[in-house]
Amino acid sequence: MKVLNFTIIKLTICLVAGILIGYYFSFSLSHILYTISILFVLLLITFVIARKQFLKTVWFGLFAYLLMICLGTLTVYTHNEIHFKNHYSNYIANENDSLNTTTFKIREVLKPTTYHNKYIVDILKIGSKNVTGKALLNVQKDSTSQPFKVNAVLLTKTSFELVNPPLNPGQFNYKKYLEKKYIYHQLFVQNKSLYTIKSEKHTLLGFADAIRTHINSKLQKQPFNPEELAIINALLLGQRQDISEETYTHYTNAGAIHILAVSGLHIGIILLLLNFVLKPLERLKKGNLIKTIVLLLILWCFAIIAGLSASVTRAVTMFSVIAFAQNLKRPTNIFNTLAISIFVLLLAKPLLLFDVGFQLSYMAVLAIVTIDPILYKLWQPKNKIIKIYWHTLTITVAAQLGVMPLSLYYFHNIPGLFFLSNLVIIPFLGLVLGFGIIVILLALLNCLPTIIAKAYGFIISSINSFVEWVSLQEQFLLKDIYFGLLYVFVFYILLISLINFLKQKHYKSLKLLLISILAVQSAFLYTNFKNQGNQFIVFHKSRYTLIGNIENNRITTSSDLDSLSLSQEKTIKNFNIKNHIKTHKTQKLAPFYLFNNKKVLVIDSLGIYNIKSLKPDYVLLRQSPQINLNRLIDSLNPKYIIADGSNYTSYVENWEAICLKRKLPFHHTGKKGAFIIDY
């Protein structure tokens, strides 16, 4: 079966191409609309001509696909409110210290940090002007305040700050991550400066949050410890904010993190339970239609309560398409179904394409439907229990193969015991979910027996303990693996060609497989021999100094961190992974660095510099030296002044003012990021 023979799949590919073009290239709305209008007219003309011709031409299909690409570009433009006049960014001052009276509504509650409760908010007003747009709200934690609920409307006077790009190379780019959610600014406020405004307007997300809050209020009265309650929220309500960092890491390292994300696995199990419960409806006149409508209503209500995450939305959309097809007595094709669900979701949320959960979710399903049948045929056990476990293993391996390139690209590790955790948990996940739904219903009815609550808590704790044990087998966890975008591309080509060869063993498929193997080898050779160039880097590290010298793909670091802190330092680890650096040495901080005729003088808290004759090109100030910077500039005549993250802010501001007055370049790593010298 040739997948590309299906029209909806071709249209979905064109839509994806249009979204990518619209995201990476800038077009005006008028140009997009003009192009769409011209293509639509050409499409109509070719359609009329094609109806009168016996032999069909390619022009109708070509214009249809080009039109779909343009529609993809249009969706990216129209979904981004920053392009419109009433976006809040058009009503705020450019200066960060300019205060604005801002009214906003809580849209989504995020996982809190050590010092702040975090929210995504819809900006409603700037002063008296009605505006639109989203921002990130950071509310300073204090002992007296409670977190805000979804739909809460608040007013404050504060400044909008741009989201900062990463300060060090290789660091996660939170700025770009937020931009893909149409968030460009953030607010930092204290609880006492926020004023609550009564609002009669309610949203679906707010209603869903109220339901979750009510369920949690009932569950908190039961004998569940906080970690058990957090897992119940993740498994059944799609909320992972309360899971501790330690538990989340255990599930990630055990290859079982997908169990905590409500996805196709959970929706499929819930669908089976609902099919069983609603089966009596089939006896009614038009019972299948009524049952289908009820099923879809329940599934979408559950999706809304679960927060409409990428994975749950994908799963519910896909099962909705399947349910409709079955009710219409139409044969379903899984690739068509997947394409329709992708098409619908991307029309509604085009930048969902860049969501990691969305990508992993679809790749896992595609891998299961293509690879699992091949693996399952390798052995056909007759024992039913063995058969269940064998099929669980083949599905797990297939899904892992499908997501592995993306997982390595984003997370840089492979959980070697993923099959063990899945073999133990997945066969019983249906019972865990079914039991959990009963527990929630009984809790809501205030008739949950303590013994049942304790039994369910014990099951959740047992799963956590098992996952923790698997996670602690660190010899099976492959960490810090470099895997660039080029590797993702060639490995998926290899996987597709391998599947094609196993299904159709002929000369053409073998040739494609061998070519893909050569492509993978070429990617490895290119990466290994690619020279990153020699660099001297002053990284940003709050309260400390961290320097890296890269020569021939080897890094030597110098810092005032202790050995334990340095071994756990993510700044260097992330840099090494991104740049495929395998050799890492450490040495003590030196007062002077010389490389390729470039000289760097390091002045620490003692403020001593007696190297006037060397005339340094760069002066690095660290640990707040009490020096007269004007005298230093006059005596050493440097070309650049650098201040790292170990200096007091007041000192840095004074140095910056002096350098600005004397027209000497000044670089503060806390403001401009790591300072890089190429040589």
Are 555 and 602 contacting, i.e. CB atoms less than 8 angstroms apart?
A: no
More confident residue, 477 or 314: 477
CA 626 – CA 24 distance, rounded (Å): 47
Q: Which residues contact 191 (CB under 8 A, 6 or more apart)?
A: 139, 140, 142, 144, 145
Q: Percentage of residues in the chain with pLDDT exceeding 90?
A: 37
Query: Each residue of 626-662: pLDDT tens digit?
Result: 999 999 998 888 999 999 999 999 999 999 999 999 9
More confident residue, 479 or 328: 479
CA 217 – CA 526 distance, rounded (Å): 57
Query: Each residue of 156-183: pLDDT tens digit?
Result: 998 898 898 999 998 999 999 999 999 9
Structure confidence at residue 5 (pLDDT): 63
**Type of residue at 473:** Q
Are 344 and 74 contacting, i.e. CB atoms less than 8 angstroms apart?
A: no
Are 228 and 461 contacting, i.e. CB atoms less than 8 angstroms apart?
A: yes
**If you average pLDDT over residues 666-676, what whole number do you get?**
94
**If you average pLDDT over residues 322-351, what whole number do you get?**
79
DSSP alpha helices (H): ranges in 445-506? 450-471, 485-503
CA 639 – CA 657 distance, rounded (Å): 16
Longest Cα separation, the chain: 98
- Average the pLDDT over each of 31-35, 91-95, 188-192 and give the range with the smallest value: 91-95
Predicted confidence (pLDDT) at residue 305 exceeds the cutoff of 90? no
Strands 666-668 and 675-678, sheet pairing: unpaired
pLDDT band at 459 (very low <50, low <70, confident <90, very high): very high
Entry pTM: 0.85
Tokens in use for 332?
């379903």
CA 282 – CA 285 distance, rounded (Å): 8
Structure confidence at residue 95 (pLDDT): 47
Place of tokens 């390595």: 408
CB atoms within 10 A of CB 625: 20
Query: Each residue of 121-163: pLDDT tens digit?
Result: 999 999 888 999 999 999 998 877 788 888 889 999 988 988 9
CA 208 from chain centre, in angstroms, equals: 23
pLDDT band at 48 (very low <50, low <70, confident <90, very high): confident
Identify the CA nearest to 561 among candidates 572, 552, 577, 551.
Answer: 572
Query: Each residue of 400-452: pLDDT tens digit?
Result: 899 999 999 998 888 888 888 888 888 888 788 888 888 988 998 888 898 99
Structure confidence at residue 216 (pLDDT): 87
